């Protein structure tokens, strides 16, 4: 069964303190990877799709990268509004089901 | 920006009662999904639906669960006889088409509390 592991579980940052989140996966033939942001009491909000090793995507202070074994979400000069839980997910062979990691909860202090 | 909407936001039900959770997917999307998230746990896949048929379901999605697209806009999840362990956030999602690079867009969920 596909496994998605995220680290660290929690990350506390000062405003402006850049950091990275990790998503590692064991899948039989990676078929893409998604990053989502989840605010408390809300549904996952789509951020990025990464489809092949070496690919990078950026949105504001977030940059996602993908290798053959893992993905990183880099947060550059974060602001308090970047506080959220960041989830990664991979599709299974059927392309219907997403398997999610447990998430990294990021707290950015002003 | 179009979004997936879910109602109600919170549903409280007695154990053994039937409950129907409702979703309006994004209008041009053709694939629909239900996931759930028990408090403090991962988001888990329940079922996917396309062309008025279930395309895939998980072990969680047993005979107590059913899905339906009763009209051109709504997508529902019914739990026939609720159990305490059904308490969770239930998320509906939709995507334009199937594909490993097609993102699923999620609603804000229904919090289901079973008493």
- What residue spans define the domains of chain B? 5-114
- Indicate if the pLDDT at residue A30 is higher than 80: no
Q: How many CB atoms lie within 10 A of CB B87?
A: 18
B103 CB neighbours in chain A (<8 A) are: 34, 46, 49
Which chain A residues contact residue B105 at CB under 8 A? 46
Q: Report pLDDT for A29.
A: 74
Instruction: Give A2's pLDDT tier (boundaries 50, 70, 90).
Output: low
Summarize the confidence of residues A18-43 as an average pLDDT: 91
**Residue A58: its pLDDT value, please?**
97
Contact state of B55 with A94 under an 8 Å Cβ cutoff: yes
Q: Give the residue among B13, B21, B33 at the shortest CA–CA distance from B82.
A: B13
Mean pLDDT, residues B90-103: 87
Please give the Cα distance from A48 to A57 (Å, whole number): 7
pLDDT over 90, % of chain A: 78
| pLDDT score for B83 | 96
| Residues B107 and B93 sit within 8 Å (Cβ to Cβ) | yes
What pLDDT is attached to residue B102?
Answer: 84
Q: Tell me the pLDDT band of B100, cut-offs 50, 70 and 90.
A: low
> What is B5-114's CATH number?
2.60.40.10
Chain A residue with Cα closest to B6 = A43
What SS3 state is found at A37? strand
Averaged over B59-63, what is the pLDDT? 94
Least confident residue range of A28-32, A73-77, A88-92:
A28-32
Contacts of A110 (CB under 8 A, 6+ apart): A15, A80
* pLDDT band (50, 70, 90) for residue A103: very high
- Domains, chain A, in order of start with CATH, read 3-96 (2.60.40.10)
> Hey, is the C-beta of B25 within 8 angstroms of any chain A C-beta?
no
Which pLDDT score is estimated for A1? 62
Q: Given CB atoms, is B56 within the 8 Å cutoff of chain A?
A: yes
- Decide if A102 contacts A44 (C-beta within 8 A): no
The pLDDT mean for chain B works out to 94
Of the candidates B108, B110, B68, which has an alpha carbon nearest to the alpha carbon of residue B87?
A: B110
- Kindly tell me if the per-residue pLDDT of B31 is higher than 80: yes
Q: What is the mean pLDDT of chain A?
A: 93
Calculate what percentage of chain B has a pLDDT beyond 90.
87
- The DSSP output letter for A104 is E
In DSSP notation, B42-88 reads -EEEEEEEETTEEEEE-TT--TTEEEE--SSS-EEEEESS--GGG-E
* Residue A103 near residue A85, CB atoms below 8 Å: yes
The whole-number average pLDDT for the span B14-32 is 95
Q: Cβ separation of A42 and B109 shorter than 8 Å? A: yes
Query: First vs last Cα of chain B: how many Å apart?
Result: 36
Q: Which residue has the higher pLDDT, B46 or A3?
A: B46
What's the pLDDT score for residue A93? 79
Is A45 in Cβ contact with B48 (below 8 Å)?
Answer: no
Beta bridge mates, A24: A5, A70
Q: Are B45 and A99 in contact (CB under 8 A)?
A: yes
Give the integer Cα–Cα distance in Å for A62 and A48.
10
């Amino acid at each position: 069964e596909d496994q998605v592991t995220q680290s660290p579980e929690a990350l506390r940052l000062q405003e402006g303190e850049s950091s990275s989140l990790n998503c590692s996966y064991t899948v039989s033939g990676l078929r893409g990877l998604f990053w989502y942001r989840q605010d408390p009491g809300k549904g996952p909000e789509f951020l990025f799709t990464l489809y092949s090793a070496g690919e990078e995507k950026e949105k504001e202070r977030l940059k996602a990268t993908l290798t053959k074994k893992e993905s990183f979400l880099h947060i550059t000069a974060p602001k308090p509004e970047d506080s959220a839980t960041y989830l990664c997910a991979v599709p299974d062979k059927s392309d219907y089901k997403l398997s999610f990691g447990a998430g990294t909860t990021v707290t950015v202090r002003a | 920006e179009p979004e997936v909407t879910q109602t109600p936001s919170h549903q409280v039900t007695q154990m053994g009662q039937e409950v129907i959770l409702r979703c309006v997917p994004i209008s041009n999307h053709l694939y629909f999904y239900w996931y759930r998230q028990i408090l403090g746990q991962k988001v888990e896949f329940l079922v996917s639906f396309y062309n008025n048929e279930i395309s895939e379901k998980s072990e969680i999605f047993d005979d107590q669960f059913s899905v339906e697209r009763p009209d051109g806009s709504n997508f529902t999840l019914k739990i026939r006889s609720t159990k305490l362990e059904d308490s969770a956030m239930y998320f509906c999602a939709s995507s334009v088409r199937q594909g490993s690079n097609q993102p699923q867009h999620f609603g804000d969920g229904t919090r289901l509390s079973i008493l």
